[in-house]
Each structure stands twice: as structure tokens, then as C-alpha cells.
Amino acid sequence: MRKLLLILLTLSAFYSCSKKNDVNGTNPTANTPQADTLITYKFSGDGISGFLPNAYLIATDSTGNVLSEVKTKIGTSIYKLYTPKPYPNARLNVYEVDVPTDPSAGVIILGYLQIKKGSTYDASGSSATSSNYPLNIHFKNASAFDNLSLSTDLRANSISNITDTIYYKSFDYSDKSKVWVQIQKNNKTLYNFFDITKGIHDFTIDLNQCIKVPQVKNLTAPGGIFSMTVYAKADKNSAQEYDFGQIYSLYNTLSYRYPTESFEQYSTRTSYQLNDRQYSFVNVGSTIPSQVDTYNASFKNTGSSLADYKTAIAGPYDYYLANFIGKTINNNIAIYLYSPSAANYTNYKLPDFSKYIDKSVLDPTQIVFQTFGLYQVNGFNESKLPYKIQNSSHDVNIKAVEGK
């Protein structure tokens, strides 16, 4: 089953089609002489306010002084934060502060610390994909099985009980998609690809036609709680991909089965646990790797809250992500702080956000440390936000280590 994205990744991908309305920061305008562009935000659809009605984009210096700010507006997708005079520093902090109208939903702060001046946050999304939604899938000869996996190039799911075939209603597929089905039964795994005609909304699959024997990759990881997922593209330049399912092992070995047909690009995602750390990888190429990757970056944490948390980092990385959450229901808040390695910056103290958020929510002693991660991304450009993360990016090689 495709994993649900983390809330973090949801924040980076709400948006689906771009508009061209601009809003500038509150101090200068776009035509102010000697104005300095601090950052440009590009959203899509109705912009960030399509998720939370009350959202603020704020730029500060390293000491927390607000340089520019803007409140998002429905129907606006492009925001530029400026200073009226040239900003003398090469780096700054930027924050997206989402304040829900329903207090029980919690405040979300997404921050990028000491990024380069002039960076762009682009969540405008790609061009629309051809859709044949809804696709209602029916099965013939569907006797009991151990696992049934199905994927089009737009959606995937796996079930282990015949009564769960209801989850194959309201699927979707592009005009060029086939339907991949793999069934595990009586210690045998068989699969097939089924042709589907553009525009069809009801499709019956005869499971007796799953007659092909898949290839197998037998892999060993350095640690346990080992998992692996493979995505495949017929056209590497396309956004569409098949999902051949996720396999878990409590130990450090697993066998992954996948189609014998060749694809132009594979994206292989693996993860394992070692010494209280979660290691995750994305490998993109024309083949599926025969070995599990390693990552020699590490970190050591001290402190337990936003008031006293510190990190010592060793080894190569492109950016880090520190996550904090409110300790009680009275300070319902989630904070995600990114920073590029080039900045060499580990000051997690927030600016004074009491203008936007109730002070009771912002008590740093009541905002506890949750997780920390180091990430290495092939071709990383620190000026292009949001930063890619292994749970949602299948188009680039990524190494990650995460933990407490």
C-alpha cells in the first residue's frame, strides 16, 4: 500500500495548479527602489490558504527580528517578501505559521533556518495528469489469498482479505496505464499486467490470468526492521509510476518480487533500524540495486525541549530537520525546522510569534523534542525549497538517518 505522507510532506504538497496573483511583503512593494527580495513563495490553486485559512509567511534575521511578513489570501498563489533597503546579510530565516480556526487542530510552524537570500519556495506542482477517475475494479475467481497487490500508474493498494476488495473501488489511471496485479497464495507468487482502455470506469480482472512468475531480489541490510518498496516508470520523464508494493521484515533480510518486464526507470526505497536510528534511502536508476545502501552521518542530541535542545552533527549531510511538538493539549503545536549544512546553524529558538499565536502555546519548556534527521540529496540546491525528503520524492537519490 502506498504510504500516507507525513504531515510534513502534506504541507509541501497541498497544491495542484498554479495561478498568477502576487502579494508582496508588508513593508515595501515590488517597485520600491533598492528593495531586496528575501524569498519568493509559489503555491497553486487557492494557495496555502486552501489548507488553513490563517497562514503567515515571515522572514527574520538570525536574531529573530522580523524583516518582512505577509498573511496569505485565498486566490493568491505567489508571495514575495522584501526589505525596503538592501539586506546586508547573505542568509535569513523564513517561517510559515499556520493557525487553524479550530484550536483543537493545532498550530503548525514550518521553518527554514539560515537559507540563502533570494531563495524560492516552489510548491506549485506539476502539470495535470490525464485521469480516468473513477475506476471500479471487480475480480473474477477471487478465492482466498494471502496478499493481493494492485497498481495503476496513478494509484496502488494491497490487501490480505477477499472482503477488502472494496478498497479497489474509485481507483484512477492515466491514458497510458495498464493494471498490474500480483497475488500470493499457497506459498506461490504470480502476477500479470492487464490492458485497460482509456475512459473505462468498470474493469473486471480474472485472477486466474495471473500466470507470470516474478523476478526476486534477495537483500541483506545492516540492521533489522527492514523494508523495501519499488516504483517503476515506463517513461522516466513522466510523473506517473507503478508501485510494486512494500515488503517488511523484522530481521535484516528480505526477498522482493517484481515484474520481469523492463522499465525505463526504477525508484527503490529501503529502510532499516540500527543502533536506535532509522536509515532510509531512495535509489533511482535503470535497475533495482542488489545491495542495501549505508550512510555514515550521525548526530547526538541533548536536552528535551525547545528551551534546551542541542545537536552535535558528524559526517556529510545537505540539510537537517528538527521536529518539536506541544507537550500538552494546552499548547497544541507542531514545529518543523530545516537548515542547510552550509549555514552551520543549530539555533532552534523561535522569534516572538505572539502576534500570530497565543503566548501560552509558545512556552518553549512545554514544546518537547520529537525527532531529528540528517539528509543527503543528490544534486541538492539549498536555495530551492521545499527540500526533498525520502518519504515522498522518488526522482532523486536520497540518504537519511533519523531518530531521537
Considering only 18-32, 65-79, 137-151, 364-378, which range has the smallest mean pLDDT?
A: 18-32
Q: Are residues 255 and 241 in the same domain?
A: yes
Q: Are residues 188 and 225 in the same domain?
A: no
Residues 6+ apart with CB under 8 A from 12: 123, 386, 392
Distance spanning both ends of the chain, measured CA to CA: 27
pLDDT greater than 50 at residue 2: no
253-258 and 242-249 beta bridge pairing: unpaired
Residue 176 lies in a domain: yes
Q: Are residues 106 and 21 in the same domain?
A: yes
pLDDT greater than 60 at residue 32: no
Rounded distance between C-alpha atoms, residue 54 and residue 72, angstroms: 7
Q: Are residues 23 and 54 in the same domain?
A: yes
Residue 35 lies in a domain: yes
Residue 73 lies in a domain: yes
Q: Are residues 153 and 112 in the same domain?
A: no
> Which residue has 510559515 as its cell numbers?
96
Last residue of a domain, which of 237, 255, 285? 285
Grid cell, residue 387, equals 527540500
Q: Are residues 179 and 203 in the same domain?
A: yes
Residue 299 lies in a domain: no
Within a 13 Å sphere around the CA of 344, how many CA atoms are in the beta-carbon half?
2
Residue 297 lies in a domain: no
Rounded distance between C-alpha atoms, residue 281 and residue 228, angstroms: 10
Q: Are residues 242 and 327 in the same domain?
A: no
Tens of pLDDT, residue by residue over 93-130, are 999 999 988 767 889 999 999 999 999 999 887 666 78
Q: Are residues 33 and 85 in the same domain?
A: yes
Please, which pLDDT band fits residue 203 given cuts at 50, 70 and 90? very high
Within a 13 Å sphere around the CA of 400, how many CA atoms are in the beta-carbon half?
26
Rounded distance between C-alpha atoms, residue 108 and residue 49, angstroms: 13
Residue 7 lies in a domain: no
CB 125 within 8 A of CB 16: yes
Query: Above pLDDT 90, what percent of the chain?
Result: 75
Query: Above pLDDT 70, what percent of the chain?
Result: 88
Tens of pLDDT, residue by residue over 262-278, are 999 999 999 999 999 99
Q: Are residues 321 and 263 in the same domain?
A: no
Q: In the chain, how many domains are there?
A: 3
Q: Domain of 252: which CATH number? A: 2.60.40
At residue 45, the pLDDT reads 64
Helix and strand totals (H; E) in the chain: 1, 27
Residue 234's nearest CA partner among 190, 193, 202 is 193
- Domain extent, residue 94, equals 17-125+304-377
